[in-house]
Structure 1
Amino acid sequence: MGPELDREGDRNLVPLHVEERRLIPMAISLTERYRHKIVTAEQLREILGPPPRKKRAIMCHGVFDVVHPGHVRHLLYAKSKADTLVCSLTADKHISKGAHRPHIPQELRAANLAAFEMVDYVVIDTNAKPLENIQIIQPDYFAKGFEYTAVGMPPKTAEEAAIVEAYGGEMIFTPGDIVYSSTSLINLAPPTIQYEKLQLVMERYGVTFDKMRAAIDGMVGKKVHVIGDTIVDSYTQCAMIGGQTKTPTMSVLFERKQDFVGGAAIVAKHLRAAGADVTFTTVLGEDGLKDFVLDDLHEVGIDTKAIIDSTRPTVNKNAIVVGGYRLLKVDTLDNRSISDTILSQMTSAVSSVPADAVVYSDFRHGIFNRRTIPEFARVLPPAAYKVADSQVASRWGNITEFQGFDLITPNEREARFALGDQDSGIRPLASQLYDKSACKLLMLKLGERGMLVCRGADHELLDSFYVIDTFVEQLVDPVGAGDALLAYSTLAMLVSQDDAAASILGAMAAACECEYDGNIPITPEAMHRKIDLVEKRVNFG
């Protein structure tokens, strides 16, 4: 099912016939429209020619994460002093003003500047400082804001001035009657540009909405083996009665209790809902919750290979909820390592079950630890796509123990926990984690900020990173978003072998999950609706 064109606003959508849909092109993005203005320093030197020139050139340099009125006045003044205005901007990899900066990727920042009529050329500077590009381009003038001379020339500006003056150029300092901070503006109200970022990634890697639809349809029948800790999440609803007068004891009245399959089991249910043929290997206790889990998974068609350990309970996390608030959580579990006998049974299942992908879903409740992970890694089928997800930021787990996997999907907190790094920016953090885990693809989940994808070992290359923003329309409940992302990105990689398409589909699945109350397995129908909506937003929104 393709997108619908709204002929009368956002309400009363009128379906389009297939023939009509083919007539509607994807909206032209900023990067496509103004690409002719974006050049390299070497190309610009050829265009301008060496000084002295008949038509003089002036160059401005900055981050330009958000172009504000102060920037505009700076650029207008610079343009008034020369025939050609060149804007140079710092590449993403050299920006360290905040953990999640830049907010806008370098290609979009370049296009934003190129869209100004007064700007003739834009250069993305891949160096930490503009010194090398100043030497290559040799602009007649190099413009800086007045703040760089207000209290004496800073050392970095002095370096730039030395190069400019050495070849006969001149420094110009623009008036500073209006000064704005991009950082302050972003902190005040971050720009919403998820669809522009999406277009950027789709253009760069050749992803189309039809390709994503085909990937969803192609997930049916893919064989996936999930191995991990089952958790039964319980919600005990109570009403407040009061407290004891002699002791600080709270009294609540039991109303009802609901149980839900969670942990690695819900990952298996997401995969099954997407159409995959799922085998699930886990450890359960000899108790009533074991039967609840087995019945629940059997009902949705998951082949469950449960190993029963009578010495431990089925993991249960029971939240006591009063008036919509979680008053208390009571956990029933045993986190000690599984025995050698159980490990042997589980590894035998991994090696013997035919699978297109194997997913290790680690909640650190006894199955995965430093002793067992090497054995689980050793028995992985050579041809299977190998995935690891380790949701253990509050315990002694570490995603980097899963070495050499095809895909890992930790969140930022888990990454910082694994590396013992609370200070680095997101790109350096992802680089470290990618290298230390020796993975092939890293999807670093950033919550409401979406995710950063690292896809190559050469972290200096632009092509090694990209950002996918969240596609949540209305947040209801974020629980389970990571499970949905893991399931759909894994299956998309099996179908398309395209990490960009897989990342986008994973983000869309996470968004669908956030729009539901509870961890509800995401269906292909829900994914098609989300793709249709996002395509509509890109084309007409």
Structure 2
Amino acid sequence: MFDKIKTLGELGEIAAAARAKGRKVVLAHGVFDILHVGHKRHLDIGKRHGDLLIVTLTTDRFVNKGPDRPVFSEKLRAEMVAALECVDYVGISPNPGAEHVLETVKPSYYLKGSEYADEEADVTGRIKTERLTVEKFGGEVLYTEDITFSSSNLSNRVMSLYPEETAAYLKDLRARITVDDVKKEVAAVENKRCLVIGDTILDEYIYVEPLGKPAKENIIATKYKSREIFCGGAIATANLVGQVCAGVDLVTLLGRSQSYEDLIRANLHQNVSLMPFYREGGQTTLKSRLVDPAYVKKLIEVAYISDEALPAAEQATLNGWVEKNIANYDAVIVNDFGHGMIDDGLVDIVCRKSKFLAVNAQTNSANRGFNLITKYPRADFICIDEPEARLAAVERYAPIETVVREKLEKKIDCHTFVITHGKLGSIVYSPQAGVKRIPALTGEAIDTIGAGDAFFALASPLLAAGSDPYLAAFIGNAVGAMKVRIVGQRHQITKPEILKYLSTLLK
């Protein structure tokens, strides 16, 4: 069985030798996470159409079915597939798609399930590219027609991957909405023009090995390993909005000295246009953290920040641009980190003139107690975490539902509140429909930085397009669950990945 498992290079040589002898090569590619009778019949059909059946698996890193997937590692998946009698060889692809495998193997037939026959319905957008690659080498796509099962469906319904509360929530949701409903909601925002306003924050991760306490000093010593800088804050929000909206303008504040503007522009999504304003004599906010790489545990933070109020002339220029152009946008999304960019005048402009206003006002170590959501008298959507809600409501112990319904709603004219709860999920409240809790969709977090912003970035344009608040919050929750599995902003979550994960949850 283990002799069947080969490297991609070896599979290319095996396929070439078979073709030289006039034998037909059939290739199947996929995740094959939970092997079942549908997989076996699919592969049996492939073997009947050729002389050599090769199966390649997506490596764990690129299984875009969301957190906690795949259930089985790539080595275990390869072992299971190799155990099937009809399979001649198995390989693990190091790439996210099948194109490189197809170019290496050059199959006569590329095996796909009947659900992929409609290329327009493919959320990943890859099936057309794969078909063209197969045809380039004289092959064709063979769509199998037989009983079909979904590994995602089986894992969701049989294997209990989720806590009881989450499983019950998803079961109820599947009875009420379908994947097509979600696709329609996301498609509805494609032509929206959004303005993102907020502070740029660069997150520097300096990976170190803790060494212990020096004998003569009361400090923790560490050994430097490596470093990364990620574009966070409003940059990360704009990039995620750009995944679902075709037009996004980002108004942000950079420092004239040490602006990092080249790095920022290099990391912008193609749909995002940067509208930078500058703090003369200051630098772009950078938060440097010493991180233990073993578990991505942050040890200490040093903030390089200029967060005093902007000089009047600089603030007037920024505010003037927003006031002049704000009417051109379907939605205004404010990421207020309280680092001196947004003054009372800008708050007044966005509250009075936005067609749809979404606001996140963050409490962090640099502004605790001085950047409360209550400085915005009105909004259409507010998204903050529980400590931020309690600070703004001056309510430490009451249930969070009471904090929102009886405190915040009386202080802010707002249609929809979302209070994110980390591992407890989120609370959604609208005056018309009341309170509903959405449980967390993943139990394991690698890095929580930016998860709430990811939720906010996806839910905001959806609500602006008229989505039901609870559906928008479910989608936001899903993206937040995806984000906590990513270190910093090392990877930008893409629209196909979002749709794929949502499809997995609803099967």
TM over 0.5: yes
Q: Hey, what does 2:382 align to over in structure 1?
A: 408
Counterparts of 1:253 and 1:23 in 2: how far apart (Å)? 50
Change (3 A) 1:531 1:243: closer
Which AA in structure 2 matches 1:342?
E
Change (3 A) 1:473 1:414: closer
Aligned length: 362
Q: 2:347 aligns with which of 361, 365, 373?
A: 373
Instruction: Indicate the structure (1 or 2) with the bigger Cα radius of gyration.
Output: 1
Whether 1:456 aligns to 2:428 is no
Q: Hey, what does 2:330 align to over in structure 1?
A: 356
Q: 1:488 is paired with a residue of what secondary structure? A: helix
Identity of aligned residues (%): 21
Counterparts of 2:458 and 2:411 in 1: how far apart (Å)? 25
Whether 1:346 aligns to 2:318 is yes
Q: Hey, what does 1:326 align to over in structure 2?
A: 298
Counterparts of 2:34 and 2:377 in 1: how far apart (Å)? 47
Whether 1:270 aligns to 2:270 is no
Change (3 A) 1:446 1:267: same
**Contact map agreement 2:204 2:287 (CA 8 A) in 1:** yes
Whether 1:442 aligns to 2:417 is yes
**Contact map agreement 1:472 1:515 (CA 8 A) in 2:** no
Q: Hey, what does 2:445 align to over in structure 1?
A: 475
The alpha-carbon deviation at position 416 of structure 1 amounts to: 0.5
**Contact map agreement 2:292 2:298 (CA 8 A) in 1:** yes
Change (3 A) 1:22 1:247: closer
Q: Hey, what does 1:232 align to over in structure 2?
A: 202
Whether 1:280 aligns to 2:250 is yes
**Contact map agreement 2:242 2:269 (CA 8 A) in 1:** no
The alpha-carbon deviation at position 435 of structure 1 amounts to: 2.7
Counterparts of 2:414 and 2:364 in 1: how far apart (Å)? 19
Whether 1:392 aligns to 2:392 is no
Counterparts of 2:443 and 2:217 in 1: how far apart (Å)? 47
The alpha-carbon deviation at position 217 of structure 1 amounts to: 3.1
Q: 2:472 is paired with a residue of what secondary structure? A: helix
Q: 2:500 is paired with a residue of what secondary structure? A: helix
Structure 1 residues not aligned, in runs of 5+: 28-189, 458-462, 537-541
**Contact map agreement 1:484 1:521 (CA 8 A) in 2:** no
The alpha-carbon deviation at position 260 of structure 1 amounts to: 0.9
Q: Which string of whole-angstrom CA distances, capped at 9 and with x for unpartnered residues, describes residues 405-463 of structure 1?
A: 00000111110011111110121112122232111001111111111111116xxxxx3
Q: Hey, what does 1:302 align to over in structure 2?
A: 272
Q: 1:507 is paired with a residue of what secondary structure? A: helix
The alpha-carbon deviation at position 477 of structure 1 amounts to: 2.6
The alpha-carbon deviation at position 321 of structure 1 amounts to: 2.8
Q: 1:281 is paired with a residue of what secondary structure? A: strand
Change (3 A) 1:298 1:517: closer
Q: TM-score, normalised by structure 2?
A: 0.63
**Contact map agreement 2:195 2:250 (CA 8 A) in 1:** yes
Counterparts of 1:454 and 1:297 in 2: how far apart (Å)? 34
Counterparts of 1:371 and 1:491 in 2: how far apart (Å)? 24
Q: TM-score, normalised by structure 1?
A: 0.60
Which AA in structure 1 matches 2:189?
M
Change (3 A) 1:321 1:289: farther
Whether 1:535 aligns to 2:486 is no
Counterparts of 1:322 and 1:195 in 2: how far apart (Å)? 33
Which AA in structure 2 matches 1:339?
P
Counterparts of 1:213 and 1:341 in 2: how far apart (Å)? 45
Counterparts of 1:20 and 1:470 in 2: how far apart (Å)? 36
Whether 1:494 aligns to 2:468 is no
Q: Hey, what does 1:102 align to over in structure 2?
A: none
Change (3 A) 1:531 1:242: closer
**Contact map agreement 1:473 1:515 (CA 8 A) in 2:** no
Q: Hey, what does 1:465 align to over in structure 2?
A: 435
Q: 2:392 aligns with which of 418, 421, 432?
A: 418
Q: Hey, what does 1:183 align to over in structure 2?
A: none
Counterparts of 2:146 and 2:332 in 1: how far apart (Å)? 42
Change (3 A) 1:314 1:208: same
The alpha-carbon deviation at position 233 of structure 1 amounts to: 0.7
Counterparts of 2:402 and 2:423 in 1: how far apart (Å)? 20
Counterparts of 1:399 and 1:388 in 2: how far apart (Å)? 8
